[in-house]
Amino acid sequence: GLSEKLQETFKKLRGKGKLNEADVTAAMREVRMALLEADVNFKVVKDFVAKVKERAVGAEVLESLSPAQQVVKIVHEELIALMGGAESKIQISPKPPTIIMLVGLQGAGKTTHAAKLASLLKKQGKHPLMVACDIYRPAAVKQLEVLGEQIKVPVFAQAGRAAAEIARAGAESALRQGADVLIIDTAGRLHINEELMGELQEIKAQVQPQEILLVVDAMTGQDAVNVAETFHARLGLDGVILTKLDGDTRGGAALSVRAVTGCPIKFAGVGEKIEALEAFYPDRMASRILGMGDVLTLIEKAQQAFDEKKAAEMQQKLRKQEFSLEDFLEQMQQLKKMGPLASIMEMIPGIGKQLKDVTIDEKDMAHVEAIIRSMTPDERRKPSIIKDSRKRRIAKGSGTSIQEVGRLLKQFEQMQKMMKQFAGGLPGGLGKGKKG
Ligand code: GDP
Ligand code: MG
């Protein structure tokens, strides 16, 4: 992917004493290729490369950094700028209800994200109401109602009326029932057409939303950018929700949408589940693209799953190197809650690669648990005392094999090493110590 390619490029710059124009030109040629391959809009790539080159060869050379670090730093900063700089929030109207209208092509994720957004806002103490304005397919209304039931958010629907009328009635209903956020789910089409645009413009005219958010599928790459341009020209978008970023996307859409339309990406959809919605932070996305790992997102995810006290305890333990097999087991179970283990580990800088030898198959979790449960408390705290006879006893007790016990101990040892790195890198690792 894009991040591997860029890392390769930067590796070549390592070991250079001073950065000259030829080095930068060569590196930027590869950055350019990597971006184009990731389906970033070619005009965006051209501007980007020119900007980085100018800065890299120019006066901004920092003594304290290696040449490769200098280029990485500049590329990182420019990637952030490309994606709009800071996080963009949705505007809450001082006069409720705040009206959020979701638009986009069919299958982009509008209905799913109406519910994700409603659920997020509800957690923040709001009282959302969702309005079903996709009137062409009865299944679409039903889909929203099912989601509404799941997250306990009311859904407003009316049969036999035009979408704009339903939206308006929904807004009136919000006022009556004291809902402070109205989320309008609209119909999509496979392709942009006049009928769709006309209908969306009518809805907009009827309810004057604070936020018109384009829901766009990140997997569609360059198409996402074209779609965004058209919707923006017709409706005036306030932001973008980039969905399916959990998939095998090439990252191009995230990089170009903002640059081409000027609309900020406000949220990222990272899965089919209701909770799979994240605020979009350009700096984190840039770090991810560069393969620096996304420590901040990792920490945020960790904090959602752990209670804060536990997290603090773990940090202490990591710092003091007191991390035991019992903690290991607990961590694995916590990690399971956070999502696929590999995707979590990938976010830790430098660990993505090492994962190859430290694969923790989630199916093996039950075995791991059995093995650790068969250890004495002493063994759990100090696995180094586990020699052959203890291994045999543990294998028997857990119904596993000596090899499996050995493998777990080895994995644990490697995990401890990684944890040590991680703890050491904690806020310094990325060098920025940024707090989102
Ligand atoms: P709509 O036609 O725009 O309303 O799209 P839907 O909300 O019905 O979503 C279409 C499909 O995409 C559904 O199967 C969703 O579960 C799926 N989907 C939506 N958002 C995401 C996402 O962020 N990640 C993944 N993996 N799937 C998503
Ligand atoms: Mg829908």
Strand partners, 239: 213
Q: Crossing angle, helix 194-207 and helix 163-177, to 10 degrees? A: 30
What is the per-residue pLDDT across 112-132, written as a single tens digit (0 to 9) for each?
A: 999 999 999 999 999 999 999
Q: Tokens in use for 119?
A: 């659920």
Q: Is 189 annotated as a binding residue?
A: yes
CB 166 within 8 A of CB 131: yes
Two structure tokens written together for 219: 């997997």
| Closest CA relative to residue 259, chosen from 11, 410, 71, 51 | 51
pLDDT: which is higher, 395 or 352? 395
132 C-alpha vs ligand 2 centroid, how far in Å?
9
Residues forming beta bridges with residue 318, ordered by sequence position: none
- Note if the bond before 97 is cis, omega within 30 degrees: yes
What is the average per-residue pLDDT within 65-94?
A: 79
pTM summary value: 0.66
Among 1.10.260.30, 1.10.3720.10, 1.10.3480.10, 3.30.565.10, what is the CATH number of 297-424? Answer: 1.10.260.30
CATH class of domain segment(s) 2-82: mainly alpha
Residues 68 and 11: their CA atoms lie apart, in Å, by: 7
Pinpoint the alpha helices (H) of 321-401.
325-338, 341-346, 351-354, 365-373, 377-381, 388-398
Q: Taking the CA atoms of 213, 235, 238 and 173 in sequence, report the sign of the dihedral they define.
A: negative
Local confidence band at 56 (pLDDT 50, 70, 90 cut-offs): confident
- 183-202 pLDDT, tens digit per residue, is 999 999 888 889 999 999 99
Could you state, in order of their start, the residue ranges of all structural domains in the chain?
2-82, 98-289, 297-424
The predicted structure's pLDDT at residue 432: 32
**How far is residue 81's CA from residue 8's CA, in Å, rounded to a whole number?**
23
213 is annotated as contributing to ligand binding: no
The mean pLDDT of 253-277, rounded to a whole number, is 90
For the beta carbon of residue 137, count every other beta carbon within 10 angstroms: 11
User: Is 272 in a helix, a strand, or coil?
Assistant: coil
For residue 229, the CA-to-ligand 1 centroid distance in Å is 21
**333's torsion region: left (phi>0), alpha (psi -120 to 50) or beta?**
alpha
CA of 105 to the centre of ligand 2 (A): 9
The string of pLDDT tens digits covering residues 90-99 is: 888 888 999 9
Q: Report which residue type is found at 31.
A: V
Candidates 3.40.50.300, 3.30.1330.200, 3.40.50.620, 3.20.20.70; CATH matching 98-289: 3.40.50.300
**β 211-217/181-186 pair status:** unpaired
Residues with CB under 6 A from ligand 1: 104, 106-112, 188, 215, 243-244, 246-247, 269-272, 276
Cβ distance 87 to 297 under 8 Å? no
Tokens (6 digits) for 134 = 């996709």
Q: Is the complex ipTM higher than 0.85?
A: yes
Rg (CA), the chain: 25
At residue 318, the pLDDT reads 64
- Joined tokens for residue 357: 């030898």
Helix (H) or strand (E) holding 279: strand 277-279
188 is an annotated ligand-binding site residue: yes
CA distance linking residue 183 with residue 130, whole number of Å: 5
Bridge partners (DSSP) of residue 212 are 101
Closest protein CA for atom 20 of ligand 1: 109
| 163 pLDDT above the threshold of 90 | yes
Ligand 1 atom having least distance to the Cα of 276 = 23
Annotated binding residue 105: yes
User: Of 270, 257, 268, 262, which is closest to residue 224 (Cα–Cα)?
Assistant: 257
Q: Which of 350, 358, 355, 354 is nearest to 292 (CA)?
A: 350
